Chain A
Amino acid sequence: MKILLFSKRNIKEILRDPLNLAFGLGFPLAMLAILTIVNKNIPADAGKPVFAIENLAPGLAMFGTVFMSLFAGMLIAKDRSLAYLSRLFVSPLTSKDFLIGYSVPLFVIAAAQGMITLFASLICGLAFTAWLFLAVVVTAFVSVLFIALGLLCGSVLSDKAVGGFCGALFTNLAGWLSGVFIPLELIGGGFKAVCGVLPFYHGVEAIKDVLSGDLIGMLPHLGIVLAYAAVIYIVAVFAFRKKMRAG
């Protein structure tokens, strides 16, 4: 009951901020429209299209989840700076209640956002299959990486610094190092190797694989993302609990 109330509050705080809606929902859709137009204007004799919808849709679905770090980070950092978190720390809520209450709403929002991005991709030419629904679920699981990053940043940084880290740094890292904006095959070499070590590219590949029905191929990619997420989440829990003890 307490967790549900706290989760509902967090969803309201996030979704009632028009900037959150504009960035979190509008930005991936705007990118989808722009890159689809770019793709259509590339001459046919240029060879394989750079932003084929089969690549673009999973890429933008993953890219949208990066905003979960901004939402989580800003919410927690603001709760800290306004001392709302102090008020809540005095209440009978436990650290488990806080972590679930902050995380679950973002998981739900990520699923909704993934669904909107992937279903909007149908208008841009993505073929409809039943795998689309599972892709929404996989997108939500990919978002756990960014939820964990947001929890960590919100626990240790000011709200201004969270804006810089989650709003600028992570969005650029996730965009450029995942192959969303530039297909990694076009660059190759060391850049591609580095991207292969980081989780962003694997987030895109996991969604891409599930969209094409390749569940076996999807598992190692999702595994890498969740492994990163687990490590960051553990660090975030440690940082949050330390803040709780510090009052």
Chain B
Amino acid sequence: MQAIVTSNLTKKYGELAAVDNLNLSVAKGELFSLLGVNGAGKTTTIKMLSCLIAPTSGDAVILGDSITARPQAVKKKINISPQETAVAENLSVRENLELIAGLYGQNAAAAKAGAGRMAEQFGFNDILKKKAKKLSGGMQRRLSIALALITSPEILFLDEPTLGLDVLARRELWHLIKGLKGKVTIILTTHYLEEAEALSDHVGVMAKGKLSAVGTPVELMAQTGTAKLEDAFIVLNGGLL
């Protein structure tokens, strides 16, 4: 079953097409990475799919609901961890988790239980009372993803989730993301190609707002005659190896 199907999804800013007639399918439960250089249209695509911005033309159907016709229905099924950490700084870890759960309609008891579950899964038990602004960058990122997961989304958008993290924190997050595979459909954007190679079921390469290639990491490497996804990405973008 397809979780996301886009048809000629387009976003224009004046004459500039940030996303240009994107046609994409993502199967339920898979981790799909959107790759591309800066300005390729990855974040704009995620913003449209998460109903943050309206497309100029075209549409996307998320688990049966159109992002243009039924955005409120779509919003109940998805969540996002934006590029920035996006936490409420003066709220504790527990308060952050319970707030987001409540905003998605969970009652106080369910929100509390959800916060406990997230604390267990993400290792927050010792820092539940700590204010978010006092957390390390790595822990803020973890909290950001936990905030997206506490609402039990069917589709999770991770926009450069490991940006600015040290290698240990990044590998910890990889471990967490791998644990979600199969349970949640994940759309990931990243500039770290080894991350995409390690985590993705399928990869879409975007250039100038268009989808220039799509396949499994192995398929893309075979298509370009390369041994690493990073090299395949460079070839697909017309760069020099």
Q: Is B100 an interface residue (CB 8 A)?
A: yes
Tally of A-B residue pairs with Cβ under 8 A? Answer: 74
Picked from A6, A82, A91, A246, the residue with its CB within 8 Å of the CB of B104 is A91
Q: Do residues B91 and A86 form an inter-chain contact, with CB atoms below 8 A?
A: no
Q: Do residues A12 and B91 form an inter-chain contact, with CB atoms below 8 A?
A: yes
Q: Is A92 an interface residue (CB 8 A)?
A: yes
**Interface footprint category on B:** 20 to 34
Q: Do residues B83 and A83 form an inter-chain contact, with CB atoms below 8 A?
A: yes
Q: Taking the nearest CB of chain B, how far is it from the CB of A138, in angstroms?
A: 30
Q: Do residues B103 and A93 form an inter-chain contact, with CB atoms below 8 A?
A: yes
Q: Taking the nearest CB of chain B, how far is it from the CB of A193, in angstroms?
A: 44
Q: Taking the nearest CB of chain A, how far is it from the CB of B8, in angstroms?
A: 20
Residues of chain A at interface, number, CB under 8 A: 24
Main secondary structure of the interface of B (DSSP, over half): loop
Residues from chain A with a CB closer than 8 A to the CB of B175 are none
Q: Is B84 an interface residue (CB 8 A)?
A: yes
Q: Is A125 an interface residue (CB 8 A)?
A: no
Residues from chain B with a CB closer than 8 A to the CB of A1 are 102
Q: Do residues A83 and B82 form an inter-chain contact, with CB atoms below 8 A?
A: yes
With A and B bound together, what is the CA distance between A87 and B83 in angstroms?
Answer: 10
Q: Is A90 an interface residue (CB 8 A)?
A: yes
Q: Name the CB-closest residue of A to B99.
A: A9
Q: Is A45 an interface residue (CB 8 A)?
A: no
With A and B bound together, what is the CA distance between A93 and B151 in angstroms?
Answer: 14
Given known A-B contacts A13-B90, A83-B86, A92 and B105 have beta carbons under 8 A apart:
yes
Q: Is B50 an interface residue (CB 8 A)?
A: yes
Residues from chain A with a CB closer than 8 A to the CB of B24 are none
Residues from chain B with a CB closer than 8 A to the CB of A5 are 99, 102-103
Q: Is B226 an interface residue (CB 8 A)?
A: no
Of the listed stretches B28-36, B71-79, B181-189, B198-206, chain A binds: B71-79
Give the B-binding residues of A (Cβ under 8 A).
1-2, 5-6, 9, 12-13, 16-17, 78, 82-84, 86-93, 245-247
Give the A-binding residues of B (Cβ under 8 A).
47, 50-54, 72, 75-76, 78-80, 82-91, 95, 99-100, 102-105, 131, 147-148
